[in-house]
Amino acid sequence: MIKMGIFRGASPLLLNYQFVREKLKKVFWLASLLAIISFLAVGCTERAPNPQPAPVSEVLPAEHPTDWPENLRWLTDTEKDKLIEIALNTSRAQECLQEGSEYTTDISWIALTPADTGKGYSGYRIFDYEIVAEGIPRGTVDITPPDSPERIVSVGVPEEAEIYPCVHIDFAEPSALVVMSAIDLDAEMTVYSDYYPQRRGPVLPDKAPPPRLP
């Protein structure tokens, strides 16, 4: 009863003061909490960043061993015509021709990596036709700069990679395909063939699918 009487007789000013004081306590507590969080966040952002590898320029020919297999040479016009003739006789190229697709051709060089199973190839790497002047890069060369935190190497083709001329046949609509064929010119036969839509590039060397032979 006494407590009830005191509450009922309390001044409105006193009640407002108590209400405001409670609100101020909550505001002060929230501001203190935000200040602590901000301090911790700043401390985290000011940590030293992880070291990044130094940029590496292109490897000079003298820094990477190269070789010239016997079949890596400037081809005669007669040899180029023979390569295109063989490439046009692959099954996929014949299908495109039957569809009435016009085409253009281009010749490059391809390094085929034999599969570990001893049958077929596990990947390939394509080089411009002019690589004849520089030779095929083989193996790996360590080109890590002195201050680099990571080891960096220039990767050439495997030592066991086989080099062949490669014909790319770019078929227009309706086929819209590029048919590529690696050809053994001495044996006059296709050793590896693949195709891909014009809207994308060839598969990466380390993701080459099984060969589609004629």
How would residue 153 be classed by pLDDT, with cut points 50, 70 and 90? confident
Backbone angles phi, psi at 171, to 5 degrees: -90, 130
pLDDT for position 65: 73
Q: What is the mean pLDDT of residues 134-154?
A: 82
DSSP assignments along 141-177, one per residue: EE---TT-SS--EEE-B-TT-EEEEEEEEEE-TTT-E
Q: Tell me the pairing of strands 162-171 and 121-127.
A: unpaired
Could you check whether the bond before residue 174 is cis, i.e. omega within 30 degrees of 0? yes
Q: What is the number of other CB atoms lying within 10 angstroms of the CB of residue 157?
A: 22
Summarised one tens digit per residue, pLDDT across range 15-46 is 444 544 555 455 455 556 555 555 454 444 34
At residue 178, the pLDDT reads: 94
Cα separation, 119 vs 191, whole angstroms: 12
Mean residue pLDDT of the chain comes to 74
> What confidence category does residue 164 fall into, taking pLDDT thresholds of 50, 70 and 90?
very high
Which residues, other chains included, contact 104 with Cβ-Cβ below 8 Å and sequence gap of 6+? 169, 170
